[in-house]
Copies of this chain bind each other. A is one copy, B any other.
Amino acid sequence: MTEQQQDQTGATREGGVSRRAVIGWAGAGVALGAAAVGTVAAATRDSGEQHEAALKAVPEVPFYGEHQAGIATPVQDRLHFAAFDVSTTSRDALVRVLKEWTKAAAVMTGGREVGSGATGLAEAPPDDTGEALGLPPSRLTLTIGFGPTLFEKDGVDRFGLKAKRPAGLIDLPPFPHDSLDPARSGGDLCVQACADDPQVAVHAIRNLARIGMGVVNVRWSQLGFGKTSSTTPDAQTPRNLMGFKDGTRNIAGTDDRTLGEHVWAAPGDGPEWMTGGSYLVARRIRMHIETWDRTPLKEQEDIFGRNKREGAPFGKQKEHDAPDLAAMPKDAHVRLAHPDSNGGAQLLRRGFSFTDGTDGLGRLEAGLFFLAYQRDTRKGFVTVQRRLAANDALNEYIQHVGSAHFACPPGVRKPGEWWGQSLFG
């Protein structure tokens, strides 16, 4: 939060109340920039406090902009993703929720609490559920998307949006080996909450769900505990639960040319309301990690086409070296997923590892919650996944168990605008 946004009383431009100001952390810790991290750390006493102090000094991610935050933004550590179904037939009610959501999103991504804060009435439920009080913004981003069923469901034009459905917002085709659970697939709307602190991400989804009560219901949700991709050039690529670096050579969030070519919808691509937006494919990919863990190293590396330790493609030394596809087995994952194998198709990936306890057989219910943004899903995910589903050596160890597709509109440019304004407005 900048001082511009907050006066001495803790009130803010957006009407929210600073979570930190209210509980008495105002002062030295509030408006710290990067250079002050060391000072904060030195003033604290144990390693846990050091850690907390460092997190507090990280600035928020701006909510307003040409594109939605949470796409090209450097990938945060944790995810809470929710798909919603709209339970009303009233377009007005839906628009009202979208407007309220936008206000709440601007407030929460700034590390402030929803609603009137300290002035809330004792006789009414609190505006904010409260579990993030005192936590910093934690780089929270909230990214909204609209699913195919919002535009038409069972042949019904529910909200007068049918004519505005982008041709690119297809019903995803079935792929070989898919084993999709309808209860973990689809959705009229989605919100992707990413933050470095999962409590902040969970708080955000919960408060949006609460604001939407009676109009939208959570259809399914997914917690991701560790990012598996980076959009920061030259950063260490995180590892997936197979122990491999798989998000290497992702599109960089700073590479405007590639973002323009492969991620952002451009004028003429489809309906005007999506210009500056992006299409999101979400796939819940279960990994059979117990089987994988019994697989020899050489076989694991052949399957990826990459060595495990360094992450270097076959025949190369370093993770970020350009891969020599011919040096890999024909069914290697990296080879099949590479743009050169897919007519130049590139996806911006920001997937997360998940583990949801244990299944009935004592196996970890774990895997990759794959999230990919693209300018045109037909040229992007569908092209790549057709090839992978047919040939990828990895298929023996994974299964796609959930699937969804969303059109994520452009960013909210300034206070007063709202999520979906270009579509509904």
- Please list the residues of chain A having a beta carbon within 8 angstroms of any beta carbon in chain B: 22-23, 34-39, 41-42, 46-51, 54-55, 57-59, 74-78, 80, 82, 85, 118, 120-126, 128-134, 139, 183, 196-199, 202, 206, 209-210, 213, 217-223, 225-226, 232, 235-236, 238-244, 289-290, 293-298, 300-301, 308-310, 353, 355-358, 360, 362-364, 366
Contacts and interface: CB of A to CB of B under 8 A. Distances in A.
A232 B122 CA distance: 32
Contact of A39 (B38, B85, B131, B220): B38
A23 B223 contact: no
A365 B240 CA distance: 25
Contacts of A132: 239
Best-buried of A38, A124, A308 by chain B (most CB within 10 Å): A38
B139 A47 contact: yes
B131 A243 contact: yes
Contact of A358 (B22, B55, B120, B221): B221
B54 A239 contact: no
A217 to B, nearest CB: 4
Contact of A357 (B58, B123, B223): B223
30 contacts: A34-B41, A35-B38, A35-B41, A48-B76, A48-B196, A50-B54, A51-B55, A51-B77, A51-B139, A78-B198, A78-B225, A82-B358, A85-B362, A121-B296, A122-B297, A125-B296, A126-B297, A131-B240, A131-B241, A131-B243, A131-B353, A134-B239, A202-B226, A213-B290, A217-B362, A218-B364, A221-B358, A222-B357, A356-B356, A356-B357
Contacts of A243: 126, 128-131, 133
Contact of A123 (B37, B54, B221, B296): B296
Best-buried of A85, A134, A220, A363 by chain B (most CB within 10 Å): A134
A295 B357 contact: no
B364 A221 contact: yes
Given A121-B297, A353-B199, A133 B239 contact: yes
A23 B123 contact: no
**Chain copies in the assembly?**
2
A139 B48 contact: yes
Nearest to A55: B51
Contacts of A199: 225-226, 238, 353
B23 A37 contact: no
A288 to B, nearest CB: 13
Contacts of A294: 125
Contact of A355 (B46, B58, B85, B202): B202
Nearest to A84: B362
Contacts of A46: 74, 232
Contact of A34 (B42, B301, B353, B356): B42
Contacts of A85: 362
Best-buried of A37, A196, A232 by chain B (most CB within 10 Å): A37
A54 B58 CA distance: 11
Contacts of A48: 74-76, 139, 196, 232, 235
Nearest to A87: B362
A283 to B, nearest CB: 16
Contacts of A126: 243, 297, 300, 308
